[in-house]
């Protein structure tokens, strides 16, 4: 299974063969590529499709008039942008590729067709939507209450766990292709302080981060330091009751 969406949703529900096929069908919609640091869509644009990230990292962000930028969310392979986005006339934020990104452009019609035929997928996409909202809330907690050290530790924990969900970790390591400037904009810190905070985590041997490779030798320890409680990711197969009966 190389479909990150299917991989992610299977943490919620058991997917039947036809569910799998439908998700593969979604991932085979018009596939597009975008270079690193290019926008997928800009604030003010009218959204036309639902994008599904197939590979690479992207982000949502907003900029203030004077140039301050906040990264609002990080999108990993298997992540969808808002499913019912066409209801809104214009985008209220922008999206950009952090690394080179491939994504599938799913039309409203195709999405409706799939969700009509596969109620389990509809359920699972709802779950995904709710988890996305929960992540957004947790970021508010980080930005509002956590110290720099906790904040950085927290986002590392979150990204690691989310990458593990889609099979993009090996052991306690994962690719980590985001620059310090972007991480700073995501955590609401200055680049200088983010740099020093990473060094503190390194000095405490909680992380190894070099050449775009992150290793977390002792994830539980990092979780404790960061006050990271993964419950908001709702990982514990909560939707098994909706699962397929077929093997």
Partner DNA sequence: CGGCTGCTTGAACTTGTTCAACAGCGGTGG
Partner DNA sequence: CCACCGCTGTTGAACAAGTTCAAGCAGCCG
Provide the binding-site residues for a copy of itself, judged by CB under 8 A: 60, 62, 64-65, 68-70, 72-73, 82, 84-85, 87-90, 92-93, 123, 126-127, 129-130, 133-134, 136-141, 143-146, 185, 187-188, 227, 231-232, 234, 236, 238-239
Q: Which is nearer to a copy of itself, 46 or 212 (CB)?
A: 46
How far apart are alpha carbons 178 and 196 in whole angstroms? Answer: 16
Q: Is the CB of residue 67 less than 8 Å from the CB of residue 32?
A: no
Q: Which is nearer to DNA, 130 or 213 (CB)?
A: 213
Q: Alpha carbon of 147 to those of 7, 160, 229: distances in Å?
A: 33, 20, 16
148 binds DNA, rule: CB under 7 A: yes
How far apart are alpha carbons 116 and 73 in whole angstroms? Answer: 29
Which partner in a copy of itself, DNA, none is near 123 (CB below 5 to 8 A by kind)? a copy of itself
Smallest gap from residue 53 Cβ to a copy of itself (A): 18
Count interface residues toward DNA (CB under 7 A). Answer: 18
Smallest gap from residue 108 Cβ to DNA (A): 35
Mask for 164-203, x = binds DNA (CB under 7 A): ---------------xxx------xxxxxxxxx-xx----
Q: At what angle do helices 148-165 and 191-203 cross, to 10 degrees?
A: 80
In terms of DSSP bridges, do strands 213-215 and 173-175 run parallel, antiparallel, or are they unpaired? antiparallel
120 phi and psi angles, rounded to 5 deg = -65, -35
In the window 33-52, what residues touch DNA (CB under 7 A)? 37
149 binds DNA, rule: CB under 7 A: yes
6 phi and psi angles, rounded to 5 deg = -60, -40
Smallest gap from residue 92 Cβ to DNA (A): 24
How far apart are alpha carbons 59 and 31 in whole angstroms? Answer: 18
Nearest to 167 by CA among 55, 242, 247: 55
Q: Is the CB of residue 153 less than 8 Å from the CB of residue 226?
A: yes
Q: Which is nearer to a copy of itself, 191 or 208 (CB)?
A: 191
Which partner in a copy of itself, DNA, none is near 191 (CB below 5 to 8 A by kind)? DNA
Rounded to 5°, the CA angle 115-6-111 comes to 25
In the window 207-246, what residues touch DNA (CB under 7 A)? none
Positions touching DNA (CB under 7 A) are 37, 147-149, 179-181, 188-196, 198-199
């Amino acid at each position: 299974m190389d479909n990150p969406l299917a991989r992610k949703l299977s943490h919620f529900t058991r997917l039947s063969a036809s569910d799998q096929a439908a998700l593969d069908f979604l991932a085979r919609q018009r596939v597009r590529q975008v270079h690193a640091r290019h926008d997928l869509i800009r604030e003010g644009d009218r959204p036309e499709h639902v994008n599904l990230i197939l590979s690479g990292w992207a982000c949502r962000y907003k900029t203030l008039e004077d140039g301050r930028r906040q990264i609002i969310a990080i999108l990993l392979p298997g992540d969808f942008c808002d499913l019912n986005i066409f209801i809104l006339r214009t985008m209220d934020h922008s999206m950009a590729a952090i690394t080179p990104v491939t994504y599938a452009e799913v039309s409203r019609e195709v999405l409706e067709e799939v969700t009509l035929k596969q109620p389990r997928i509809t359920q699972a996409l709802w779950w995904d939507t709710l988890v996305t909202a929960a992540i957004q809330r947790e970021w508010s907690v980080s930005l509002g209450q956590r110290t720099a050290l906790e904040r950085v530790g927290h986002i590392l924990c979150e990204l690691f766990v989310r990458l593990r969900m889609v099979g993009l970790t090996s052991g306690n390591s994962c690719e980590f292709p985001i620059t310090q400037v972007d991480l700073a904009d995501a955590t609401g810190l200055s680049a200088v302080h983010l740099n020093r905070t990473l060094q503190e985590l390194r000095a405490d041997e909680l992380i190894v981060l070099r050449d775009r490779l992150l290793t977390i030798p002792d994830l539980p320890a990092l979780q404790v330091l960061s006050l990271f409680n993964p419950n908001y990711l709702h990982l514990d197969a909560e939707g098994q009751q909706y699962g397929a009966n077929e093997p």
